[in-house]
Amino acid sequence: MHATTPQQAWRALRDGNARFVTGRREHPNQDVDRRAELARGQSPFAVVFGCSDSRVAAEIIFDRGLGDLFVVRTAGHVVDSGVLGSIEFGATLLASPLVVVLGHDQCGAVTAALKAHATGQMPTGYVRDIVERVLPSVITAPPSTPGLGAAQRLDQVSDEHIRHTGQLIVERSAAIARLVDQGRCAVIGVAYRLEEGQARLVSAIGDIGEVGIGEIESGESGVESSPAGGGEPPR
Ligand SMILES: [Zn+2]
């Protein structure tokens, strides 16, 4: 089966992750025939823009193989022009119907941004650039509440950063926004848990055939109407 719609692509990823979680991986598309077939061209069914964390390897956690995923990674999945160009390449020229922002718990980049926000001390070198690009999510996350543990606070900000990154992609890239409006592509946010191996849907811009999940937007990609305070109204 080859996924050609956002709905099919999400289903393929969800099914693959379920196999990974339960230890029943099938290792599809990793044989010699597949390798030879792909030498003629690629048609990946999803663009995965994830954190560089060595424990969050897209093909492994979604149980996929060669030619399936167009993968872009930076620490803390922070966006720059090279990232946007890579995502646009996958979604437009390779016609991938789904863009996935892949974050995770215990993320070092999000932890560093929380620390910088709390102390006012920025890291040096180019690590500073990473932290600067995560900080807006620390600011727009729901305010911390008394009694909230450090790990829970980290999860809260991580979810906000995943959501925010998806919005940013649609806001910055006119090409992606157009594809989403046409229903040919969707941009979703997924949070991966290191211990359990589970990939949980956090946000969606566009129709992926799933309803009833918090913070879901659907239909038009008009993210400019989003409130600055984090959660999206259902529409
Ligand atoms: Zn990370």
C-alpha 141 – ligand 1 centre gap (Å):
17
Token duo for residue 168: 């940013």
Ligand 1 is an ion; residues with CB less than 5 A from it: 51, 53, 107
Residue among 112, 104, 95, 231 at smallest CA distance from 163: 231
CA distance 100 to 13: 10
What pLDDT is recorded for position 210? 76
pLDDT tens-place string over residues 30-51: 999 999 999 999 999 999 999 9
**Distance between alpha carbon 119 and the CA centroid of its chain, in Å?**
28
Q: Which of 152, 161, 108 is nearest to 133 (CA)?
A: 161
Q: Is the pLDDT of residue 63 over 90?
A: yes
Confidence of residue 216 (pLDDT cuts 50, 70, 90): very low
- Spacing, Cα 182 to ligand 1 middle (Å): 32
Detail the DSSP E strand segments found in the chain: 46-51, 69-74, 98-104, 186-192, 199-205
Distances from the Cα of 213 to the Cα of 101, 127, 234, angstroms:
16, 34, 10
Q: How far is the CA of 52 from the centre of ligand 1 (A)?
A: 6
- Name the nearest CA neighbour of 158 among 200, 210, 99, 217: 200
Give the pLDDT confidence score for residue 2 in this predicted structure.
81
Give the separation between CA 233 and CA 235, rounded to whole angstroms: 6
Query: What is the distance in A from the centroid of ligand 1 to the CA of 193?
Result: 11
The dihedral sign for the CA sequence 187, 188, 192, 197: negative
Spacing, Cα 37 to ligand 1 middle (Å):
33
- pLDDT score at 174: 98
> What angle in degrees, to the nearest 10, is found between the helix axes of 81-88 and 150-172?
70
Spell out the residues 6+ positions from residue 222 whose beta carbon is closer than 8 angstroms to its own: none
pTM of structure: 0.90
How many CB atoms sit inside 10 A of residue 166's CB? Answer: 27
pLDDT at 232: 41
pLDDT in tens, 158-200: 999 999 999 999 999 999 999 999 999 999 999 999 999 999 9
pLDDT > 50? residue 228: no
Domains of the chain plus CATH, in order, are: 6-26+43-225 (3.40.1050.10)
Closest CA to 133 of 98, 100, 93, 84: 84
Separation of CA 32 and ligand 1 centre (Å): 32
